[in-house]
Each structure stands twice: as structure tokens, then as C-alpha cells.
Amino acid sequence: MYSKVIRHRKKIAGDSFASEAATEGFSKYPRKITEILAARGVECPDDLDYRLAQLIPPSTLLNADKASEEIYNAIELNKSILIIGDFDADGATSSAVMVKALKMLGATDIDFLVPDRFKFGYGLSVKLVEHAAQFKPDLIITVDNGISNHDGVERANQLTIPVIITDHHLAGETLPDAAVIVNPNQPDDSFASKNLAGVGVAFYVMLMLRNLMRDKGWFERRSIAEPNLAELLDLVALGTVADVVPLDKNNRILVEQGLKRIRSGKACVGINALLEVAKRDPKRCVSTDLGFAVGPRLNAAGRLQDMSIGINCLLAQSDKQANLLARQLDNLNRQRREIEQSMLDDANRNIEELLLSEQALNWSKEEQQSKQRPPSLCLFNSSWHQGVIGILASRVKDRLNRPVVIFAEDKDDENVYAKGSARSVPGVHIRDVLALVDSRHPNLILKFGGHAMAAGLTILASDFEFFAQSFNEATQLILGEDTISDEILTDAGLSDTDMTIDFSRQLRNLGPWGQGFPEPIFDDEFVIVSKRVVAEKHLKLVFGRDNEVFDAIYFFYDDSLSLEENDVVQVVYKLDINEFRGNQSLQLIVEQIIIE
């Protein structure tokens, strides 16, 4: 891994924030916390008001009203509605939210279908539509997909099955010919948050549908109690965090309200079961628990088998059913980890050779001679697992700090394909890079879609080398005169008075932290008092400073570092509260150690 240069975050908000915070109920926080908030654009205490009343109104989401009309008419006529999701955690939670909400609202003929990635690929493909037609749906509603599936929508139209698309991925130059499209990122949509996950879009459409039903007197006529759709916010929080969308204020409201439900014991039995197998306490659940414990177990189903396992876990009505499915997901996640580690070992064994290979990566001779990293990296191995290439792309991206596309082989009766998963770094919009490649070399990319930091694509396997070169060139063009920074942003150091359990607890309570609203991270100089390896891959440390000592843990530590007791090191870390046998103690979570 390339060592990063530390840079301290600058305040985005004005200096007036700290003084305003002191007079608006924030006097209980030390100045360091007000500085942390200011560096994240918090301009006033209202930015931390996460009440549901602060949500952007659903009526401002383009076509949410039209979608709710179409769905209402289908429900009133007792038509069959088929939800078609995606095979990741966002798609699973979107499907569960839509199914649960429609049933709560009085719909009776509801089913869901999620594509098997190995049979149908991503989204509303032609094959999937033809398979879905066997269920004889009167209406198809997509969640977390559909915006790039022109052919699938056209096939549905040929079969006289209207399609409502709910999605959040970036639209192409043209839109599918669907009955209705709800997507905050489609042209002419002025919705104030472009960062909704797929599950957020699905939730908003259901809010709009409930409002319509209320206006039409649906609940009174059917003697149905108007449902509280806030009961679904645990699912919305999970999908939002797991999809790593930026946590602007609107998304923070959705996530924090969902976390409150989980912590108060009001989560669905499926989420509780997943937290249990992950050994996480629901009463102390934070966004990182959803992102790093629950989300991966849910994703494992879509990566290795069938995401319907995950959706059924989220839809489970009993503890027994949920626990059974959660254990199955946990086992799949263990298998996923083994496959991932094998692929990562394979990549690591060859990565230095690959980085020097002009044929594989199309570097210039000057780049090879200077041993600099290229603007991007593309790797292809026919033995790699399609369901795990996204994780491998993230791991390699983290190691090299470059946009990465990892390809695995796929076949049909006629061709051998390379199916790719792309991950990017700040400053490089990955879908824009793919769009540029597509415009410069039409027909090279057979299909693609995604957003700023992640995307998927398919090419012919025989075109891999040409694609790698084209992708590298397009990345350079997108960057222009800019370079990809190796800086790591921190919130500077902490004084001894802030290195406390109380300070750490205050930080935790100011969340949810996540993409776009990063969890505070600090850097300080320490002396290594002691160190020992635990569980073969983690490093347990004790740091010393000014006659104080601090326990620390370095998960999956970089064993290439030469660390000795009494070494003076620069440590990049987060604060955490460790619980052991009922006792709490402050613990530093090490992100990186820089040897002076």
C-alpha cells in the first residue's frame, strides 16, 4: 500500500459556527467537536436536526406523483405487481421496502424477483423480462435498477407489461421508454438531494403513494389503518449505508431514524438476526455496523447464490425463520471471504509484475522506467469469481489509490465476455470515464452503468487489452492537469483532555458518519510501548505519550512495516470504546502507521 501524506481538514463553515454552537445548545461539546463539524460543512445546529419533519418532501421528487397514480390504479383493480430488484444490499432492501410497504398499504397481489447475476446479469435485461413474464404480472416496478435497461423495457412493452422504473444510478443520453421513471439523477429533476440510494427512492415513492391513498379516502373505504411507513426506516438505513452513497443531511435523517429504531428494539427480525450472527449489539448499533457487518452478509447471497435468500431474511415474519436465513447468509459470507482472500492473494502475488507490464497495463516506457503508478489499472483473470470482483476492485483500489476495473470471465453460446466491476477514487468520476471510452470507441463496451465511485460493464474478452489502454487514456483526459492525491485527510491531533471515553461517546452520538460525512479521524505522534499479533492478522498495540498510555488495535495490519517497541511513529486513528466483560475502555482504531 502506498503511504499517504497527512493533510488536515479545513473548515468549510465559517468561524462563527463555534460561537453560535455555544449559544444554541452545543455548549456541552468541546471546541474540538465544533471544529470537526465545521470541517464537514455544518454551518448551524439545524444541520444536525435529524427529525423526520426535516426530510425533503416526496412531492418534489420528479414523477413520484405519476408513479403513485399508476401503482394506486393497479392496487385498486387488484392487478398483479412484480417488484424486480438488484442483487446487492441496496437492491435487497429496496425490494423488501417496496413489498412490505405495498402490503401495509393494502395491496394483495405482490411478488418480487431478483436476477441471478450468473443467468440474467444486471438489471431489467431482456432475458429477465421474458422470465418474469411467466409470473404473468400486470405491472413491473424496478428498484435500484432499470435506468440503463432500454432493451429490457422495450421487451416488456412488447409483452404489454408496463414498467415503472425507480432507480438512483446516473442516466445515459437517452431514457428507457418506461411508463414512469423516478430517479433523482434523471434530467430535469430538481429534487434537492441527488444522493438517495435505491432504497431511498423506493421509500419516497411509497410515501407519495400513501399520501395519494389518504387523499382518495382509500384507508377509510377499505377500513385499513393508515400505516406508519417509518417502520421501514431500519431497512432504508441499511440499504443507504451499504450502498456507500454520500450522507447529505437528507440521507443522514433516513439513516439516523433507522438506527434509532434498531437501537430501540423496533427493527425487523431479519436485521436483528443479521446483527446477532455478526456479534453486534442492536442497542449500540451505528452506521459502521450496517456497513461492515450486516451489509456484507446480505451481499454475500447476491455474490455467490441468490439474493432472494437475503430478501426473504428481511421479509421474515418470525425469529426462527430470520435466524435460519441469517445463519445461511453468514455461512455464505464466510465462503465469500475465502474466495476473496484467494483472489486477493493471487492479485498480490502478481501485482508488481503486472504494474511493470506494458502489455497488460499499457504504460508508456517513461512510466515503466520511473516506476510510477499509471492513472488507472485493469486486471482480468478467467478464474476469478464474478460475484467477488467488486470487492477485489475495492481492495486493489485501496492499495494503489487509483481507479481500478477487475474483470472475470463470462460465456454464452456465442462469445466469451469479460464482466467488469470498477471502483474509483476522489477526483475521478468512474461513470464519466466509461462514457468517454464509449464515445471514443463505440461498441467496445457492450453495456455499462453506475455512478461516481462504482460501476459495472461488459466487454468481449478479446477486447480486454484495448479496453485497458482506452480506459487509461480516458482517465488521463478526465484528470487533465490534475493528479490523484495521495493525501489522507485528518482532523489533526487530540489533546490528552479529549482522549476520553466521554469524547468518543460524543463523537458517536453526532453521527451517522459515512460517505460524504466522514467519521472523524486523527493523527498524532506516539511511542510504541508494546505490540503483539492477535488472530494472525491484527496487531494489538499500546501507545505512549506524555506519561499516558492508550490501547490500540490495527486490523489487518500492514505486516511489511518494521515496528519495534520504543519506536516513535505517526499514527492515523479513530476513537472507539472497547467493551470487555462489562467494562468499557478507550481504544484507538489504527488506520495507518507512518514511521518517521
For 436-484, how does the pLDDT look when each residue is reduced to its tens digit (9 = 90+)? 999 999 999 998 888 888 899 999 999 999 999 999 999 999 988 778 8
| CA quadruple 15, 288, 240, 280: dihedral sign | negative
Sign of the torsion angle spanned by Cα atoms 390, 393, 395, 398 = negative
In a domain, residue 348? The reply is: no
Residues 149 and 71 in one domain: yes
DSSP element (H, E) containing 18? helix 16-23
Q: Cβ distance 39 to 165 under 8 Å? A: no
Q: Are 589 and 440 within one domain? A: no
- Domain match, 112 and 208 both: yes
CATH code of residue 110: 3.90.1640.30
Same domain, residue pair 169 and 313:
yes
- The residues that bridge with 450 in the sheet, in sequence order, are 455
Q: Is residue 31 part of a domain?
A: yes
Q: Number of helices (H) and strands (E), helices first, in the chain?
A: 21, 17
Query: Are the CB atoms for 514 and 287 separated by under 8 Å?
Result: yes
Separation CA 123–CA 376 (nearest Å): 27
Local confidence band at 415 (pLDDT 50, 70, 90 cut-offs): very high
Q: Which of 434, 450, 485 is the last residue of a domain?
A: 485
Residue 33 has pLDDT above 60, yes or no: yes
Strand pairing partners for 157? Answer: none
Given 332, 367, 383, the domain boundary residue is 332
Does a structural domain hold residue 341?
no
Q: Are residues 66 and 197 in the same domain?
A: yes
Tell me if residue 564 falls in helix, strand or coil: coil
- Among 261-275, 290-304, 469-483, 508-522, top mean pLDDT goes to 261-275
Q: How far apart are CA 557 and CA 537, in angstroms?
A: 7
Choose the most confident range, by mean pLDDT, from 251-255, 357-361, 529-533, 592-596: 251-255
> Would 349 be classed as within a structural domain?
no
Reported as a pLDDT band with limits 50, 70 and 90, residue 118 is: confident
Helix (H) or strand (E) segment spanning residue 186: none
Whether residue 337 lies inside any domain: the answer is no
pLDDT, average across residues 218-241: 96
pLDDT digits (tens, 9 = 90+) for 150-170: 999 999 999 999 999 999 998
CATH code: domain of residue 480 = 3.10.310.30
On whether both 457 and 505 belong to a single domain, the answer is no
Q: How far apart are CA 488 and CA 115, in angstroms?
A: 38
DSSP state of 427: T
Spatial neighbors of 149 by CB under 8 A, at least 6 apart, are 123, 124, 125, 142, 176
Indicate the Cα dihedral angle 121, 122, 123, 125, nearest 10°. -30
Lowest mean pLDDT among 170-174, 202-206, 217-221, 278-282: 170-174
pLDDT number for residue 87: 86
User: Which grid coordinates are listed for 410?
Assistant: 463470462
Structural contact between residues 386 and 117, judged by C-beta atoms closer than 8 angstroms: yes
Are residues 303 and 435 located together in one domain of the fold?
A: no
Residue 345, in any domain of the structure: no
Whether 175 and 152 have beta carbons less than 8 Å apart is answered as no
The verdict on 325 and 398 lying in the same domain is no
Same domain, yes or no, for 255 and 121? yes
Nearest alpha-carbon partner for 361 in 433, 441, 462, 468:
468
CB 536 within 8 A of CB 548: no
Do 425 and 549 belong to one domain? no
For residue 459, which phi and psi values (nearest 5 degrees)?
A: -135, 170
What is the rounded average pLDDT of the residues 284-290?
94
Query: pLDDT category, 2, cuts 50, 70, 90?
Result: low
**Per-residue model confidence (pLDDT) at position 370:** 43
The total of structural domains in the chain comes to 3
Does a structural domain hold residue 430? yes
Residue 339 domain-assigned? Answer: no
Give the end of a domain, one of 458, 485, 512: 485
Candidates 289, 204, 184; CA nearest to 246 is: 184
Q: What is the pLDDT of residue 274?
A: 98
Look at residues 276, 232, 279 and name the one whose alpha carbon lies nearest to residue 254. 232
Domain range for 249: 53-332
In Å, what is the CA distance from 330 to each residue of 275, 309, 478? 10, 11, 40
Q: Are residues 40 and 73 in the same domain?
A: no
Q: Are residues 23 and 146 in the same domain?
A: no
pLDDT at 365 over 80: no
Whichever domain contains 563, its CATH number is: 2.40.50.460
Bond prior to 57 in cis (omega within 30° of 0) = no
Tell me what the mean pLDDT of segment 338-353 comes to. Answer: 79
